[in-house]
Structure 1
Amino acid sequence: MGLKAALSKVFAWYVNKQLDTIRQNAVALQQKVFTDLIFDAKNTAFGLDHNFAKITSYEDFKKQVPIRDYEQLRPYIDRVVNGEANVMWPGKPAYLAKTSGTTSGVKYIPISNESMPEHIKAARNALLSYIHETGKADFVDGKMIFLQGSPILNEKNGVQTGRLSGIVAHHVPGYLQKNRLPSYPTNCIEDWEEKVDAIVQETAQEDLRLISGIPPWCQMYFDRLSAVSGGKKIKDIFPNFKLYVHGGVNYEPYRARMEESIGFKIDSIETYPASEGFIAFQDSQKEKGLLLMVDAGIFYEFIPSDEYFNDNPTRINLKDVELDKNYALIMNTSAGLWGYSLGDTIKFVSKNPYKIIVSGRVKHYISAFGEHVIGEEVEQALMGVAAEEGVEVTEFTVAPQVAPAAGELPYHEWFIEFAKEPKNLAAFALKVDKALQQKNIYYFDLIEGNILQPLIVRSLKKDTFINYMRSQGKLGGQNKVPRLSNDRKIADELVNYINK
């Protein structure tokens, strides 16, 4: 064991003691975060507009600050982007994280001097929690690769602007920089395919021990590594590779194929970072869920997901959450986001400590017929049957077909790219449909009542989704295919792309 690995074990023990204190005092820490945020922002334009000086309780706050998504907060955010100071948080932001939205086009999320360190600390603590629990620290002595966006930053009205992963790259601790790959010039390549090829060439002979990135783009990296090495498994290319860190999408639909490419069942750490803040990370290999970051400058609110589109939905804080209930996640942050709807839905799987899973997206559901099928149900139905049948799924998306051919009942249309196809596609589709009926009573009623016919699966050729994402200019980085939609936009684009 090298010196870095030995020291990391000591540091991991120290950090775990701090995390234990946080775990045991989550509600009190959230109250402190709430009080501090209101005090610090009371003299900003937003704070003055919403009477922060008179807010003394969460009930006061709910009366003054409505829930808003990005578009609804945009009048304030645009002032920040245009260079105005003291709009939503004191001063100007340290950075503007540039991201893309389905309805908002390019979005700019402020990151402050107060919020930036929390991104780094949470990522660090995820690794240290793993070291503390497992005792495995050898990866610290080898090379680590982070598949991420370009670190090149632009300036917009005096504020540095770029992708979150590119911004974070400038804050990687010095003791990790020598271990970190790819090189800065390679990381700056904008074209994703060119970048992956350069990373393959740069890393194929290195002692890689940790790899981090969202699953579909890591799979692309693995496929190209294997291709240039004559079909070798990743374990044979990187014998000391022992830890995979992921986030951004649910890993389960990708796990089987990833582990097939790697050659063994690898330890993994799930993280939940967003431009708006680092929300949670997996702190245990033995327990389900991600530890919610309750002392990181984010005050959380939760709306039962089935009330989200109501005019006056229930709105609660951490102390009132229930287990196994879907909530829309609302954030108030030390970068100046207030009553901000992130668009994600989560479930609490533990309250001692507070741990969550990401269950889907507020707008990624299907309820064209009143069924309100959510991402979690779709993923569990598909992956459960796939595991039983020995089927491997590369990628998929689901949409309603409201107006099929004359005389045909409507249905849910599943576009699936298989790495290993089912022997009988129709039988496979029927099993998935039955599994979905068991998870969603409304869907069951619609099938039983002959309002819907069972789902239909369209099997897609290899690399269809990668080629589709390329055609949309969304290949690589944090871009991902929405798992389900309540309209036909993506489905019709896929059909048009396939027909071409």
Structure 2
Amino acid sequence: MAIIGSLIKGIIELRDKMVSEPNAEEAQLGVLKKLLNTAKNTEFGKNYDFEHILESDDPKKEFSAKVPYFDYNKINEQWWSKMHEGKEDVTWPGKPPYFALSSGTTGKTSKRIPVTEDMVDAIRQSGIKQVSALSNFDLPADFFEKEIMMLGSSTDLQTEGDHQEGEISGISASNIPFWFRGYYKPGEDIAKIEEWDDRIQRIAENAKNWDIGALSGIPSWMELMLKKVIEYHNAENIHEIWPNLQVYTSGGVAFEPYSKSFNALLAHPITVIDTYLASEGFLAYQQRPDTHAMKLVMDNGIYFEFVPLKAEYVNEDGSITDDAEVVPLSEVKEEVDYILLISTVSGAWRYLIGDTIKFTDLEKHEIKITGRTKFFLNVVGSQLSVNKMNDAVQELEERFDIQIPEFTLAAVRIDGEFFHSWYLGTTSKLNDDDLAEALDESLKAANKNYKVARSKALKGVKVKTIDPNLFNEWNALNKKKGGQVKMERVMNEEKFAEWEDFIATQK
């Protein structure tokens, strides 16, 4: 009998029963007031008169009226850059001990996003909420005695002056509670290895020494790690190495596009739990098993606002217009795409995180990530969001019985006419024209704007199938392997030309 596991499971279930859900709107108002009050004497707080906002009859309304939208470039240029010059009390009291490096899905230059002690604590508290939610998944007691493989970036953070820098997964892993370290794999020594390939090699070499019950990390890199472990031990699937593997906690991107290729590495299905941990904070987690939607964390250091995803609100670079409409939590609707804005205990204010979401259950405040503002493809009025692209690619997988874990596309001009040019990552040998026709028909059926565009300025769809590993090599060339690195789903013409040049050199 799993005595320790039974005790842990019992404690989790008891905590889940004792901790009641807060009223979301009241919790969000409380978070906003606490953020404003804490930061009122910072440069930012004084500049936007947080004292006045706090004294107003409607702080939410006054906040949205006084403080403009910020994307990374704008807030970094105007405010966060001052921290690198040694200034304190800029957008949050004091100076942050960490900066999260994030190249996101575009560009080679890393963003440097402040991570305060308050944010480290908020991420930890949200992690505890997620662990408590495991009581809803009917997992056996012995699961709670197994080890957890957390595959992120290196925990060997770089010291820069008075702070440390690294990806958020590395910062989080370097701050895990002492009581959790016995469960944490690959362990501190391996986790500090900077080079992805070296780290994965060490994981493969040590894999049989560990009794892994759960995995955590971005799907694309998790797949590569599992394949390496399977190959190293000449196994058929990962359950031959880790027979007690029962849970995978995904994050960073939608899991659905990877589900078919991921499940091919298993002997039997496991429980997949989605999370939403970004460089800017731990925003949401899956609370129950009968959905892939995630519950927004309403009472823990992040204040949310929502901008309807409309073509007229989105600039070409993925930022939003100054006059974009903002919708409060009380007025959001289900199955409508929104651009997410956050204000946080790290001193981000009305910050465009870059993701689009939709509410799937208003009562439970559950969401799904539907895409990125930079990946909103509207060059010729097609108004394609990433979730529509993901759905169409999944239809291809089912129709042709293939795996397509990665893809990218761009609107390109050929002889003066626009086409959508797709690259699909698959090892299957199928006719590209057949895939293009099926993809086109799927998108027409799912998106009326796309259908109209196809009858006018958008002349057609072109598809090229390539080895899925080329997407990882592109990321390695432009950014680096592993961690929070994600493939860009949509490229502009200039970036797409670089991509096609890269692909041409790989043949």
TM-score by length of 1: 0.94
Matched, 1:220 2:227: no
Q: Is the 8 A contact 1:81 1:156 kept in 2?
A: no
- State whether structure 2 residue 79 is matched by structure 1 residue 68: no
Distance 1:496 1:176, change over 3 A: same
Aligned to 2:459: 453
Matched, 1:49 2:47: yes
Which residue of 431, 435, 443 corresponds with 2:450? 443
Question: Residue 399 in 1 paired to residue 397 in 2?
Answer: no
Q: Number of residues paired by the alignment?
A: 492
- Shifted more, 340-349 versus 440-449: the winner is 440-449
Could you say which residue in structure 1 is the equivalent of 2:239?
235
Q: Secondary structure at the match of 1:376?
A: helix
**Counterparts of residues 79-228 of structure 1 (less than 5 Å):** 79-101=82-104, 102=106, 105-228=109-232
Does the CA contact (< 8 Å) of 2:235 and 2:241 recur in 1? no
Separation of aligned partners in 2, 1:473 and 1:287: 33
SS at match of 1:454: strand
Evaluate the alpha carbon distance shift between residue 165 and residue 4 of structure 1 in structure 2; reply closer, same or farther with a 3 A threshold. Answer: farther
Native 8 Å contact 1:71 1:104 kept in 2: no
**Identity level (%):** 27
Distance 2:254 2:168 in 1: 19
Give the drift of 1:288: 4.2
Do 2:360 and 2:367's aligned partners in 1 also have CA atoms closer than 8 Å? yes
SS in 1 for 2:199: helix
* Residues in 2 aligned to 1:297 and 1:387: alpha-carbon distance in whole angstroms: 41
Contact 2:377 2:383 in 1 (8 A): yes
Q: Is the 8 A contact 1:327 1:346 kept in 2?
A: yes
Q: Using a 3 Å threshold, how does the CA distance of structure 1 residues 310 and 90 change in structure 2: closer, same or farther?
A: closer
Q: How far off its partner does 1:103 sit? A: 5.8
Indicate yes or no: 2:363 matched with 1:352. yes
* CA–CA separation in structure 1 for the residues paired with 2:49 and 2:222: 47
**Which amino acid counterpart does residue 422 of structure 2 have in structure 1?**
W
Asked if structure 2 preserves the Cα contact closer than 8 Å seen for 1:97 and 1:162, the reply is yes
Compared with structure 1, are the counterparts of its residues 19 and 361 closer, same or farther at alpha carbon in structure 2 (3 Å cutoff)?
Answer: farther
Q: Is the 8 A contact 2:237 2:266 kept in 1?
A: yes
Opposite residue 237 of structure 2, the aligned amino acid is K
Query: Which deviates further from its counterpart, 198-207 or 122-131?
Result: 122-131
SS of equivalent residue, structure 1 residue 84: coil
| TM superposition shift of 1:175 | 2.3
Partner of 1:26: 24
Distance 1:331 1:344 in 2: 11
What is residue 488 of structure 2 aligned with on the other side? 482
Distance (whole Å) between structure 1 residues aligned to residue 272 and residue 368 of structure 2 = 15
Q: Which runs of 5+ in 1 are unaligned?
A: none
CA deviation after TM superposition for structure 1 residue 458, in Å? 0.4
Q: Hey, what's the Cα distance between the residues in 2 that align with 1:65 and 1:311?
A: 11
Corresponding residue for residue 317 of structure 2: none
The answer to whether the 8 A contact 1:430-1:454 is kept is no
The letter of the residue matching 2:500 is V
Q: Distance in 2 between matches of 1:223 and 1:103?
A: 28
CA pair 119-344 structure 1, distance change in 2 beyond 3 A: same
1:137-192 per-position Cα deviation (integer Å, ceiling 9, x unaligned): 42321221111111112333312322211111122222221121113221111111
Q: Which residue of 1 aligns with 2:497?
A: 492
Aligned to 1:274: 278
Kindly indicate whether residue 378 of structure 2 is the aligned counterpart of residue 367 of structure 1: yes
Q: Structure 1 segments of 4 or more deviating over 6 A?
A: none
> Structure 1 residues 302 and 104, CA, compared in 2 at 3 Å: closer, same or farther?
farther
Secondary structure (helix, strand or coil) at the match of 2:220 reads helix
Measured in 2, the distance between the counterparts of 1:110 and 1:35 equals 21
Q: 1:253 aligns with which of 234, 246, 257?
A: 257
In structure 1, the residue matched to 2:332 is 321
Counterpart selection for 2:478 from 472, 490, 498:
472
1:396–1:415 CA contact under 8 A, matched in 2: yes
* Counterpart contact for 2:437–2:461, Cα < 8 Å: yes
Q: By how many angstroms is 1:364 displaced? A: 1.0
- The answer to whether the Cα contact below 8 Å between 1:15 and 1:125 also exists between their aligned partners in 2 is no
**Is the partner of 2:36 in helix, strand or coil?**
helix
| C-alpha displacement of 1:18 | 5.6
Higher deviation after alignment, 254-263 or 8-17: 8-17
What secondary structure does 2:305 align onto?
A: strand
Distance 2:235 2:158 in 1: 40
Q: Give 3-state SS (helix, strand or coil) of 1:62's partner.
A: helix
Q: CA deviation at 1:482?
A: 0.9
Aligned-partner Cα distance in 2 for 1:261–1:420: 17
**Structure 1 residues 288 and 260, CA, compared in 2 at 3 Å: closer, same or farther?**
closer
Distance in 2 (CA, whole Å) between partners of 1:76 and 1:132 is 42
Cα offset for 1:243?
0.7
With normalisation by structure 2, the TM-score equals 0.93
Distance 1:104 1:31 in 2: 38
CA drift of 1:425 comes to 3.3
Distance 1:104 1:79, change over 3 A: farther
Q: 1:19 to 1:324 in 2, by over 3 A?
A: farther
Aligned equivalents of 1:296, 1:125: Cα separation in 2: 10
2:293 to 277, 285, 289: 289
1:144 touches 1:209 (CA, 8 Å); kept in 2? yes
Assess if the C-alpha contact under 8 Å between 2:136 and 2:288 holds in 1.
no
